[in-house]
Chain A
Amino acid sequence: MSKGHGIRFDPRTKLLLLLLCALCAATAPSLVYEFGLVGMIALLGFFSGRRRYPLIGLAVYAVIFALTKAALSGSGTTFQTTLIAFLGLVHKVYPCGFLAGILISTTRVSEFLCAMHKIHAPKSLTIPMAVMLRYLPTIREDWGFIKDAMRLRDVSPSLKGLVAHPGMTVECLYVPLMMSASRAADELSIASVTRGIENPAPRTCLIQIRLGLADLLAAFCFAAYFIAGRFG
């Protein structure tokens, strides 16, 4: 899943960066500060090997920035208040979402799970998390089959169908999916239990992740930015 040729950051660093980004966004002293944060994230994106995505993200933020400035200079109508509250949320969420997009697309699932092991997350979290990440694409496949079946039976869910036959529409949506999930749970547990997943010894990982200079630098930059914003 890694795009382009860039620096590979350790997944633990990525989690730390997300945390720092959230802190920066939560304690941001001004909009310009946030713009700076988004800029840093775009830079990180370039270093990670992404090309178009950081540019698009930066451009979109510039538009939002301009919109916010315009909204703030208006009169105190209720709509404006609502709009400002909404924009407030956007400004808090945007940097993290932007960063998340870069991090997720440059991390392989196996690396992420290995990182969770290395930080000694309990098995009761790592196993369900691994299964979650592995099952999400399966849901899309299943849904494709179910949609086909529904079209053949002429029971496609629509707003009209929901009003006219609520029970039937609900059953269409849930029943095959839940049944399939239940079967998958059984078969997947059998396949994992017969390969020793219950072994109490701590698992090792085929993928090796290692903290490097790039990780330290990135973490330092964001931490410094946070401190500068808080106390500067």
Chain B
Amino acid sequence: MSSGGANAPVVPRFRGGERVKVRRADVPGHIRTPWYIRGQAGVIERLCGTYPNPEELAYARSGLPAQPLYRVRFAQTEVWPDYAGDAADTIDVEIYQHWLEPG
């Protein structure tokens, strides 16, 4: 989903406070979405900005169009079945938009 020319930055689709889910995908290459967070549901903490896609940059490609990057907040008790801390504890992970779906 992009506006303007082919390399114009992708328009952010999520806003702070929105519930999202991390895609449960298993793909080769250089991926910055940690294994432990795939398939997890969280809330957008903030839009960090748009950046060239590291998955492409890793292969000396341009990484354009730039992708929206979010900090997504997750409840630790949901991420880890045996989590031994407080119910309010959280983990924030920076995740690119193309790894997120509405939650």
A, B in one complex: no
Chain B interface residues toward A at CB < 8 A? none
Q: Which residues of A contact B (CB under 8 A)?
A: none
